[in-house]
């Protein structure tokens, strides 16, 4: 990893100084303006994807969890229960920012607004990352052609990042919002706006418990920078402290740290708080073989996020620590699914990208001979090829990173829309993945699943009316067709009324008898 001067190529300007727009070379101005237009068009495209996913009912359990909480808080239930997890929503991932977001509910009743917020956060992150690169380039001694080339390449890699598109079609997650705030915080740390930086850090931490590792990684980067070591230490302490505090208070049921990393300490369950984190660190040092055994098969999946940002930036403090901390925590989870979920790891891309741009600038400014100049060109070309090549490989499948491996077919979605329209607003809904997402705007919603280790108890009946929905997009491994047919048949035998039965979708409305406390399942 290369040592870094935070004020790389400083021309003697203050952090807030900027060259007046009118005095910048036209070529450079058009590159920046063109990039902003493309980011705007990308937002329109992402919004279109969100609209299609919402209308096609391609939203799963996570969207149901968040739409349920957003609706309940927005209608005055300030401590809602997440019935899909069986814990108060506050204990899910400690997503405190949901409360101010719920103020939008009286204005916009549809939870679709959450998807719009996610789209804004994703494109906003790209814009901030791009402006961060441009600000560094303008402080450097590079020629206008180099500035335009590096800025254009950075914009291109951001626009084709498959992780962004996969995140859009994979429900709603606060990681996108956390990423926006931590990238803004990094920009301010780099530029010396440390007071404003703490505002972004605070907003980042309010998003969820996972945000703490983003702040920790940013702090480690700051420690390695000449001008930001003091702030870096503070950031690292705050990030680590946040994760430890949330764990100690038991407000991270969705993260499940106590069991996900317990194997590293040769335990089945870890103690809460800093004690558990210390045991994990101790296990990594004393018994690294356990981590290696788990990490090696997943290394290829982790490397993708580094390559999306140009790859070479991982050898700088900005790219290295974010990749190490974020990808490391995903790789070392006992459940290997998390390294394959882009929303968990896409935050790595803007940091590796900035590191790649920094490395190019560093090489050009030290190119006092033709040989060194050729090396700078080689690094730039290599970063671009790595980023474009890896993105081109993953983009064709980026839209299939969801519960149904693609958008639910139109006829099926139309039948599901009928079922939703005919479902009483106060009814309990029991539905499978991915259908359950759109039915989450209610007090009681449960997942219909028949998989060992997932459905550990009968589905409780909490309302006077229960709607059960099954559809053909269900994965047989989660709910075999024979099981779903048997469930519907049992309910019909008990007097359930069919609301919808078309295009493979069946929805029944059942009024349980007094004293019935669980759904009859085969």
Per-chain mean pLDDT for the chain: 89
Question: What CA–CA distance (Å, rounded) separates 302 from 299?
Answer: 5
Instruction: Quickly state the pLDDT bin for 257 (edges 50, 70, 90).
Output: confident
Q: Which residues pair with 509 in a beta bridge?
A: 467, 497
Mean pLDDT of 74-103: 95
Percent of the chain's residues with pLDDT above 90 = 65
Q: What is the DSSP-derived secondary structure letter of residue 7?
A: T
List the alpha helices (DSSP H) in 208-256: 211-223, 229-248
Task: Of 10-14, 214-218, 279-283, 410-414, give the lowest mean pLDDT range.
Answer: 10-14
Residues 105-154 have pLDDT tens digits of 999 999 999 999 999 999 999 999 999 999 999 998 888 889 999 999 99
Q: Which of 158, 175, 156, 140 is nearest to 9 (CA)?
A: 140
Distance of CA 279 to the CA centre of its chain: 27
For residues 91-117, give the mean pLDDT: 96
Asked if residue 247 lies in contact with residue 214, where contact means CB atoms within 8 angstroms, the answer is no
Peptide bond into 434 cis (omega under 30): yes
Question: DSSP state, 518?
Answer: B
Express each pLDDT in 259-314 by its tens digit: 888 898 888 888 877 788 788 888 888 888 988 999 999 999 999 999 999 999 99
What whole-number distance in Å separates Cα of residue 139 and Cα of residue 14? Answer: 10
Instruction: State how far the Cα of 223 lies from the Cα of 511, in Å rounded to an integer.
Output: 61
8 A C-beta contact, residue 135 and residue 357 = no
Q: What is the pLDDT of residues 485-522, one digit of tens each?
A: 888 888 999 999 999 999 989 999 999 999 888 888 76
Q: What is the 3-state secondary structure (H, E, C) of 164-175?
A: HHHHHHCCCCCH
Tell which wins on pLDDT, 449 or 378.
378
Distance (Å, rounded) from C-alpha 339 to C-alpha 453? 21
- DSSP secondary structure, 51-97, as one string: HHHHHTT---HHHHHHHHHHHHHHTT-SS-EETTTTEETHHHH--TT
Q: Where are the domains of the chain?
A: 21-400, 410-510
Question: Which has the minimum average pLDDT: 99-103, 222-226, 313-317?
Answer: 222-226
**254: helix, strand or coil:** coil
- CA 12 distance to own-chain centroid: 38
Paired with 445 in beta bridges are 429
Report strand pairing: 466-470 vs 505-510.
Answer: antiparallel
- Whole-model pTM: value is 0.92
The closest of 13, 354, 328, 66 to 183, measured between CA atoms, is: 354
């Amino acid at each position: 990893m290369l040592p870094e001067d935070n004020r790389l190529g400083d021309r003697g300007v203050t952090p807030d100084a900027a060259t007046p727009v009118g005095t910048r070379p036209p070529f450079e101005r058009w590159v920046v303006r063109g990039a902003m237009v493309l980011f705007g068009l990308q937002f329109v495209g992402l919004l279109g994807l969100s609209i299609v996913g919402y209308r096609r009912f391609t939203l799963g359990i996570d969207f149901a969890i968040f739409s349920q909480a957003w609706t309940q808080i927005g209608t005055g239930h300030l401590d809602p229960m997440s019935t899909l997890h069986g814990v108060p929503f506050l204990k899910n991932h400690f997503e405190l920012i949901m409360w101010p977001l719920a103020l939008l509910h009286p204005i916009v009743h549809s939870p679709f607004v959450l998807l719009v917020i996610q789209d804004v956060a994703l494109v906003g992150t790209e814009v901030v990352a791009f402006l961060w690169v441009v600000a560094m380039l303008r402080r450097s001694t590079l020629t206008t052609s180099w500035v335009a080339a590096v800025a254009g390449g950075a914009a291109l890699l951001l626009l084709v990042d498959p992780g962004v598109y996969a995140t859009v079609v994979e429900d709603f997650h606060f990681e996108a919002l956390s990423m926006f705030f931590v990238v803004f915080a990094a920009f301010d740390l780099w530029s010396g706006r440390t007071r404003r930086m703490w505002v972004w850090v605070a907003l980042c931490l309010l998003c969820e418990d996972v945000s703490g590792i983003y702040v920790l990684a940013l702090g480690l980067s700051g420690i390695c920078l000449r001008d930001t070591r003091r702030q870096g230490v503070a950031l690292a302490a705050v990030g680590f402290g946040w994760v430890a505090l949330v764990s100690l208070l038991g407000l991270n049921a969705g993260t499940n740290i106590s069991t996900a990393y317990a194997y590293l300490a040769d335990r089945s369950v870890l103690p809460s708080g800093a004690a558990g984190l210390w045991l994990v660190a101790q296990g990594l040092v004393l018994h690294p073989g356990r981590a290696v055994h788990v990490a090696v098969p997943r290394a290829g999946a982790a490397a993708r996020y580094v390559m999306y940002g140009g790859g070479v930036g991982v050898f700088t403090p900005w790219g290295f620590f974010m990749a190490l901390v974020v990808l490391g925590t995903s790789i070392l989870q006992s459940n290997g699914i998390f390294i394959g979920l882009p929303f968990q790891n896409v935050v790595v891309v803007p940091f590796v990208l900035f590191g790649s741009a920094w490395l190019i600038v560093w090489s050009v400014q030290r190119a006092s001979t033709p040989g060194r100049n050729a090396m700078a060109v080689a690094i730039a070309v290599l970063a671009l090829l790595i980023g474009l090549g890896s993105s081109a490989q993953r983009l064709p499948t980026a839209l299939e990173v969801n519960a149904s491996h693609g958008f639910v077919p139109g006829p099926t979605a139309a039948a599901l829309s009928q079922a939703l329209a005919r479902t009483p607003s106060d009814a309990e809904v029991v539905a499978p993945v991915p259908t359950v997402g759109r039915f989450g705007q209610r007090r009681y919603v449960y997942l219909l699943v028949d998989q060992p280790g997932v459905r550990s108890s009968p589905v409780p009946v909490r309302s006077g009316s229960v709607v059960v929905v099954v559809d053909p997009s269900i994965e047989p491994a989660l709910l075999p067709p024979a099981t779903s047919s048997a469930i519907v048949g049992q309910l019909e035998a008990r007097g359930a009324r069919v609301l919808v039965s078309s295009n493979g979708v069946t929805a029944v409305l059942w009024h349980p008898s007094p004293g019935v406390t669980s759904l009859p399942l085969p």
